[in-house]
Amino acid sequence: MMKALAMPFRVAADGDRTRQGVVVLFLLAVMLFVACLLSLGIGPTGVGLRDLWTYATGNSASLSTQDRVILEAVRLPRTALGLLVGAGLAVSGAMMQGLFRNPLADPGIVGVTSGAGLAAVAAIVLGNGILAPVAMVLGNQFLPLMAFFGGLFNTWALYIIATRDGRTSTTTLILSGIAIGALSAALMGLLIVMADDRQLRDITFWNLGSLGGATFGRVLSILPFVSAVMVIMPFVARGLDALVLGDAAAFHMGIPVQRLKKIVIVAVAAACGSTVAVAGSIGFVGIVVPHLLRLVMGPSHRFLLPGSALGGGALLLVADSVARTVAAPAELPIGVITALFGAPVLLFLLLGKNGITTRDMP
Amino acid sequence: MISAEHITVTRSGRKLLDNVGLDLQAGRFTVVIGPNGAGKSTLMKVISGEMKPDAGFVSYHGTRVDLCQPVELAKCRAVLPQATQLAFPFTALEIVRMGAVAQGGLNPTEQARQALSRVGLRGFESRPYPSLSGGEQQRVQFARALAQVPQPVADGVPRALFLDEPTASLDLGHQISVLEIARDFANAGGIVLAILHDLNLAAEFADHLVVLNHGRVVAEGACTETVNDEIIASVYGIAGAVGRLPAAHIPYVLPQSRHR
């Protein structure tokens, strides 16, 4: 079974995977639709798929007020949030792997998530103190914007440290990512020591990595970030493909390399930072989804980026549905589910000789 | 015409290129030779627009290269780099297609197929690049460069092909076939600049030979003027090797004899 899963789709004999990419994108869209239905129609309360159907076909009057509220105010924002968070995480992973030319680059592994987390904790702890004026001006966007800048700072620092002469060494990337992540975590610890009881409760709640408590307010706060990243995807796809051949070759093929890198770094930070701000750190989506997709559709970013958005959304919705039903009425943190699924898949992919990790860059 | 004037590049206090001037004329196969560290690759980087010189400038048909957008340059010239490694398993066709897309081809997939068959790699379209041998990878990259400048002259403007050690990992037969494709490109009015280490190939294919040493042009002209005992001895430290046969017990292969 596992063997069959990991077998790459056979590459079309003519070497052109365009059709393959389109077919996989279509299948992913179907999967995402099913995942949305699942997420809307499953829960600890009695509201099920049948009620969802009744609601969707316009007979909402026949539902009890309570059931309607559950669908509209609980399930719908949660599904929307899960969709955005999953898409953001997977796309930021895929973009980062393209930027670093390295299939192991993942915002969670190399400390970008920690940077966003540090900034989010700083926003919670210092939001009434030195950062109060900033918090006042930004209002609802304060937390996501802080997380965005935290993620941006760490991505940028990582890029400066790990890239020499246009080449990124895997070892330096992972090690400096661990160091940056550890430093962020340490600073986060210092802030937590400074926090009062109410702030501690906020931090704990935030840090669980959960879609629980999803509101349309949260959905709206990350919607601009995630949709901005979705909009730029088609414009960076060709550049990221060319970048796989190296900075010089990408320039020779007409790519404005420095501009592309800046755009991608900002996009990674936006997608990753805003999702961390609303859902805490959810691991493995950013590395497992692009990895699996490269097996079935090839590494071209034209299909990989939209595929990651669809696949990441679907994966997170399914994981969230599991998280809130297996131990109902209690909820498991969604990060636990993604790690339980993602970590073994990642290890399996690393062990398998499927040519996806190939050789390291020197 | 592409011309480089008074190019000087200094890195860590060392002059990699020292006041180098070079004209690349349409229809001419220009070859740069010289020992390791002479500045050949640096010169190519400057001419391709990839590296900014500390002094001097490069112009493409009268336009300064530093004023061109990358996308405009990509339509004028293609570059074959030295060995390229990939972290992701693109197929040979997908790699070559990137070149065709870069010059705005209407049917890049078809152009990529043609370029692959020109370098003798028909049937390799679906092979993942990382699984190819070093020589095959080199030829895929050459096909990518060809797909980026499919016509030696387009819209009345000659296009350029820059080849950095195109024969490095190739067997004898493929060394010659790659250079013959470049030769045809120049004969059809295109501009070719190649860095070569094999002096026999350089002498056979070059219309114009440039000898670089310690960042300076030490000789320039037809091969008969540049490949002689005096220059080879002063640049490479090998004396008395031009045009003489080796000792009787060493077999030797002179592929250029095929032109007799």
DSSP B169-191: T--HHHHHHHHHHHHHHHHTT-E
Taking an 8 Å cut-off on Cβ atoms, the answer to whether A254 and B126 are in contact is no
Q: Which of B68, B88, B126, B137 to mutate to test the interface with A (most CBs of A within 10 A)?
A: B88
Mean pLDDT for B167-185 is: 93
Q: Are B116 and B92 contacting, i.e. CB atoms less than 8 angstroms apart?
A: yes
Using CA atoms, how far apart are residues A280 and A327, in angstroms rounded to an integer? 20
Taking an 8 Å cut-off on Cβ atoms, the answer to whether B73 and A16 are in contact is no
Looking at residue A358, its pLDDT comes to: 44
Query: CB A239: neighbour CB atoms within 10 A?
Result: 22
Residue B27, CB-side half-sphere exposure with 13 Å CA sphere: 2
Q: Tell me the average pLDDT of chain B.
A: 92
Tens digits of residue pLDDT in B183-225: 999 999 999 999 999 999 999 999 999 999 999 999 999 988 8
Verdict on whether the full-model pTM lies above 0.90: no
**What SS3 string covers chain A?**
CHHHHHCCCCCCCCCCCHHHHHHHHHHHHHHHHHHHHHHHHCCCCCCCHHHHHHHHCCCHHHCCHHHHHHHHHHHHHHHHHHHHHHHHHHHHHHHHHHHCCCCCCCCCCCCHHHHHHHHHHHHHHHCCCCCHHHHHHHHHHHHHHHHHHHHHHHHHHHHHHHEECCEECHHHHHHHHHHHHHHHHHHHHHHHHHCCHHHHHHHHHHHCCCCCCCCHHHHHHHHHHHHHHHHHHHHHHHHHHHHCCCHHHHHHCCCCHHHHHHHHHHHHHHHHHHHHHHHCCCCCHHHHHHHHHHHHHCCCHHHHHHHHHHHHHHHHHHHHHHHHHCCCCCCCCHHHHHHHHHHHHHHHHHHCCCCCCCCCCC
Using CA atoms, how far apart are residues B9 and B51, in angstroms rounded to an integer? 9
Looking at residue A2, its pLDDT comes to: 40
Tens digits of residue pLDDT in B15-62: 999 999 999 999 999 999 999 999 999 999 999 999 999 999 999 999
Looking at residue A45, its pLDDT comes to: 72
What is the DSSP code (8-state) at residue B62?
T
Looking at residue A10, its pLDDT comes to: 59
More confident residue, B131 or A162: B131
- In this model, does residue B135 exceed pLDDT 70? yes
Taking an 8 Å cut-off on Cβ atoms, the answer to whether B87 and A252 are in contact is no
Which member of B45, B91, B131 has the closest CB to residue A15?
A: B91
Domains (ranges, CATH) in chain A?
19-351 (1.10.3470.10)
Number of A:B CB contacts under 8 A?
115
Q: Which of A238, A245, A291 to mutate to test the interface with B (most CBs of B within 10 A)?
A: A245
Using CA atoms, how far apart are residues B143 and A166, in angstroms rounded to an integer? 24
User: What is the distance in angstroms between the Cα of A255 and the nearest Cα belonging to chain B?
Assistant: 6
Query: B12 and chain A: CB distance < 8 Å anywhere?
Result: no
User: Going by DSSP bridges, is the β-strand pair B29-33/B208-213 parallel, antiparallel, or unpaired?
Assistant: parallel
What is the DSSP code (8-state) at residue B246?
P
Query: B125 and chain A: CB distance < 8 Å anywhere?
Result: yes
Taking an 8 Å cut-off on Cβ atoms, the answer to whether B92 and A252 are in contact is no
List the pLDDT tens digit at each of the 362 positions of chain A. 344 443 445 566 677 888 889 999 999 999 999 999 999 888 777 677 777 787 777 776 777 777 777 887 888 999 999 999 999 999 999 999 998 888 878 888 788 888 988 998 888 888 777 777 777 777 777 888 888 889 889 888 888 888 776 666 667 877 888 899 899 989 988 988 888 888 888 787 777 667 877 788 888 888 999 999 999 999 999 999 999 998 899 999 999 988 898 899 889 888 988 888 888 878 889 999 999 999 899 999 999 999 999 999 999 999 999 988 887 777 888 888 888 888 898 888 777 655 444 444 33
Contact residues on chain B for A255, CB-CB shorter than 8 A: 70
Domains (ranges, CATH) in chain B?
2-82+156-259 (3.40.50.300)
